[in-house]
Structure 1
Amino acid sequence: MKHIAIISHGHQDLLINSKLGGLLGAADCTIWVKDNRPSSELKSYCEQHRALGVHYSDAKPGLGFGENNNFLFAQVEREVGFQTGDIFIVMNPDITCDIATIDAFAEQMKSQGHQLATINLYRDTNYQVPDTNIRHFPGILSIIKMPIVNSFSETYDKQKFGSIESIAVEWASGAFLGFEPEHFRRLAGFDPAYFMYFEDVDICYRSRRDLQQQVYFYPKLKAVHLAQHKNRQLFSQHAKWFFQSFFTFLVRRYLRRAKVRSHHAS
């Protein structure tokens, strides 16, 4: 079973028009919608399609990205439970994906034994403009490079991966991430210290560092991501969240490294 977690922040029109990202009615699939800005239209739409495996909740509005997805993971456990072979997929409301891709994604995770994985996102429906959803971990030098390259971390060149089935990368965007449920439990989900931004960097980093499980990228599986990148508006609330989370990640990463070096020295 594929359990899809979608968080809406006023995305009711987008989700309704896209039929929940193109996944409404998918076999062996449940869709869990957490409405962070409760909408009567979205609630009604989801309840009309309850028989198709759609679940809706407007409880605890105002949570951050990570906490919302942790909430949905707990809801899946409580209401239906995870079975052997199930996959928990975090998916943005601005992603459109076909059912065949979700099925292939789940099958590839199972067959290759991957605990954490993502697909190839594009910014256009013709799959010509790649989304930078796989990256290297940011570091101190990222602060210096950011104004020059207009990015906080180095991206992978996806064109180099076109002919392969999967490859390990450092981290992948939370716009689309698939977890083996037990792996998500062992990670204790997303860290709620990140209200928005970098919770995906953090969970991929902890997966790699603490559990020796890398995130895998499947180049041949594609979906459309109509990202807004609100964090790029310098004086916006999104920019504030972005930089707070950025520095939180850097500080925690380097404190961890310092602790490890100290342990080895002793």
Structure 2
Amino acid sequence: MAVYISVVSHNHSEIIEQLNCLPHLSEEFNVIVKLNRKEEKSYYNRYTQLHILDEQYDIGFGHNNNLVYSYCKKHLGMQPSDYFIVLNPDVFITVTMITNLVSLMTKNNVKIGAINLYKDMNYSIYDESVRDFPILLDFVMSFLGYGNKTVVNKSEIKKPTIVDWAAGSFLVFQSSHYSKLGGFDECYFMYCEDIDICYRSSMINESVVYFPNIKAVHLAKHSNRKLISKHFYWHVKSIVRYLLSKKKLTSKKSLLECDGF
């Protein structure tokens, strides 16, 4: 099977060049960089094996990745048994780690997976990228600065384990499963689309499997969430959509189970 890696850049060429991860990955896998804004392409042009999609700007995270998925199917020959990886431009991962991940997923028939992200190159500080499904109170407490009890303690997990959801900074899907889910919900512009797709997957009995021994570095810079910021507005809007969608999906599944399906 083949591996296809989707990277969405919002003027991220500087960090992409700094990490210099994509050229190495493109030697073994299909790497597609989707530009969401006009940006300098001199770095990308050095590596002819990189696929650059330079169109349809200022659209959401999910919409961008869905476009890449469609491009992989229509133009690069992606097959149902192949793997589709959503990778943030500020994540550094090696070819070996991805190869090992795909091998584990194939061996254990895993349809959607997540890995162990760290905040530093020494792999000493965990990124809080694996969590339980949140309820409204969890969002409120987090915004008020009281912490987030949904964060999973990675130090306690030593082997592949089912989790509720993992951050979209790195998610991997078997191609057929991504298609079955309909990809990301494009009504989310930013925030919660990763929770949503993981929840929808769990509703069809394909939960996220977290692989603690597959490691990568996520050099995240969190956006401003002040009350007057657009990021706060996007976040609140996404929270409302997620909570309403979750309620609807849960009710629908309950009705189907009562009817004997």
**Normalised by the size of structure 2, how large is the TM-score?**
0.91
What is the rounded CA distance, in whole Å, between the counterparts of 1:143 and 1:14 in structure 2?
Answer: 30
The unaligned stretches of length 5 or more in structure 2 are: none
Count of matched residue positions in the alignment of Structure 1 and Structure 2: 257
What is the rounded CA distance, in whole Å, between the counterparts of 1:113 and 1:262 in structure 2?
Answer: 29
Contact 1:124 1:224 in 2 (8 A): yes
Query: 1:32 is paired with a residue of what secondary structure?
Result: strand
Contact 2:112 2:209 in 1 (8 A): yes
Query: 1:6 is paired with a residue of what secondary structure?
Result: strand
1:238 aligns with 2:231: yes
Contact 2:131 2:150 in 1 (8 A): yes
1:216 aligns with 2:214: no
What is the rounded CA distance, in whole Å, between the counterparts of 1:265 and 1:141 in structure 2?
Answer: 29
Alignment of 1:99-248 (within 5 A): 99-146=95-142, 147-151=144-148, 154-161=150-157, 163-164=158-159, 166-209=160-203, 211-248=204-241
Q: Percent identity?
A: 33
C-alpha change, 1:260 and 1:82, in structure 2 (3 Å) is closer
RMSD over aligned CA atoms reads 2.0
C-alpha change, 1:262 and 1:107, in structure 2 (3 Å) is closer
What is the rounded CA distance, in whole Å, between the counterparts of 1:94 and 1:264 in structure 2?
Answer: 42
In the alignment, which residue of structure 1 is the partner of 2:14? 13
What do the CA deviations read for 1:203-239 (whole angstroms, capped 9, x no partner)?
0000011x21001100011111011121544432111
Query: 2:113 is paired with a residue of what secondary structure?
Result: strand
Q: Which has the higher helix share?
A: 1
What is the rounded CA distance, in whole Å, between the counterparts of 2:61 and 2:68 in structure 1?
Answer: 11
1:45 aligns with 2:43: yes
What do the CA deviations read for 1:137-156 (whole angstroms, capped 9, x no partner)?
111322443225333x6111
What do the CA deviations read for 1:28-87 (whole angstroms, capped 9, x no partner)?
x011000111213x3x3323312xx31001110111000000000001111111136421
The unaligned stretches of length 5 or more in structure 1 are: none
Contact 1:85 1:110 in 2 (8 A): no
Contact 2:60 2:186 in 1 (8 A): yes
What do the CA deviations read for 1:171-200 (whole angstroms, capped 9, x no partner)?
010000001000000011000010111110
Question: Which amino acid in the other structure matches residue 69 of structure 1?
Answer: N
C-alpha change, 1:103 and 1:224, in structure 2 (3 Å) is same
